[in-house]
Structure 1
Amino acid sequence: RKTTVKTHIITVQWFSDLPSRTIHTFNDLATCFVSQFSTNKAKKLEVADLFDIKQMKGETLKKYLVRFHGTMVQEFQKGLCVVQFNDSLALRRPASMEEARA
């Protein structure tokens, strides 16, 4: 990926504006850099986000339910503590919550 002069200027300015004595390791620098400049971060979904899933205009009820249940199954998987069970769900994705509970 090609970088521009403007990108370099912005990066150098950001680095110059870091408070002194805040970066002690390369990992500190990398963490600060990524949090400042990464733009394509996916938002981590939470169970409360299920309430924000709305049927889109023109979306059939069936497609809406498939999308809603897919998100619900993903959230269910993220909350599991038992690694072996979670791995089996990842290998063979359940079609519904009923199938996951079986």
Structure 2
Amino acid sequence: MPIVEQYTGTTDPEDHLETFKSLLFFQCASDAIMCRAFPSTLKGVARQWFSRLPPRSFSNFTALGRAFLAHFVSSRVHKKTAANLLAIKQQPEESIRSFLTRFNKEALQVQNLDPIMKFQALRSGIRDIELKSH
């Protein structure tokens, strides 16, 4: 079975939970096995959180997952939106190539990005007026 990186409480808990679920669903693991296997993917404060839970606190893995997400909600990574792209501006000394690389890296993180919105955000972030007019 592939190994899931241990969760320490500092990264996105949703990403950790989804990775764990997809790997165990692929293995056709039962709900009980998922509940027993999940603590092995925790480390540090995350393992401490789990060890403080009263025995038989949850009747299924869905409930355990909800409690995990609720406890580590402050570490959740917020999804990027098109509005985030509008805030990206080319810096005064930044080359167009560097700006495009930085912009595209951010754009890849926006789900279901409308191509027109992407173009408008890109256009608004470019400093060179002549380049914008073409």
Task: Give TM-score, length-normalised by structure 2.
Answer: 0.34
Q: Which has the higher contact order (CA 8 A, sep 6+)?
A: 2
Task: Give TM-score, length-normalised by structure 1.
Answer: 0.40
